[in-house]
């Protein structure tokens, strides 16, 4: 992190937790046997992280969710709304498509059978 952004460390951490950044990680990273996803420093640098300003209350809420072992879908429901919808202006449909693409790549990496997904016209 550049020194000029040190005071925004919480914003960086919080902003990483969204479906778009997770999708980029799946696209840029490498996967190995057992489904392990690896990102080397150059791949991490290439990730797209939509930086938003976070309040202490929002950061604490995410911290509590992670420490309380909240499932990923619930966590992303919260962070995608704040980061992708309110932060960068994506629509619910765009967020849904990003999540579906992310899930497909996870299924491929873990070699899980993919469910049939029908997209509305």
Query: In the predicted model, what is the mean pLDDT of the chain?
Result: 89
> What is the average per-residue pLDDT within 66-75?
95
**120 has pLDDT over 60:** no
Query: Which contiguous run of DSSP H or E holds residue 99?
Result: helix 92-109
Question: Using one digit for the tens of pLDDT, what is the confidence trace for 14-26?
Answer: 999 999 999 999 9
> What is the average per-residue pLDDT within 69-79?
95
**4 has pLDDT over 70:** no
Which has more pLDDT, 37 or 48? 37
Q: Are 104 and 22 contacting, i.e. CB atoms less than 8 angstroms apart?
A: no
Whether this prediction's pTM lies above 0.85 is answered by no
Annotated domain spans of the chain: 7-109
Among 19-23, 35-39, 45-49, 106-110, name the most confident range: 19-23
**In whole angstroms, what is the distance from residue 23 CA to residue 48 CA?**
9
């Amino acid at each position: 992190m550049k020194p000029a952004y040190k005071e925004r460390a919480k914003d960086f951490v919080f902003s990483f937790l969204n479906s778009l950044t997770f999708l980029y990680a799946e696209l840029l990273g490498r996967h190995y046997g057992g489904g392990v996803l690896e990102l080397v420093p150059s791949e991490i640098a290439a990730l797209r992280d939509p930086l938003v300003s976070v309040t202490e209350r929002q950061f604490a809420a995410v911290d509590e969710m992670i420490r309380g072992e909240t499932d990923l879908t619930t966590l992303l429901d919260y962070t995608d709304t704040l980061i992708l919808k309110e932060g960068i202006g994506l629509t619910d449909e765009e967020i849904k498509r990003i999540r579906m693409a992310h899930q497909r790549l996870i299924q491929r990496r873990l070699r899980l059978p993919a469910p049939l997904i029908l997209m509305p016209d």
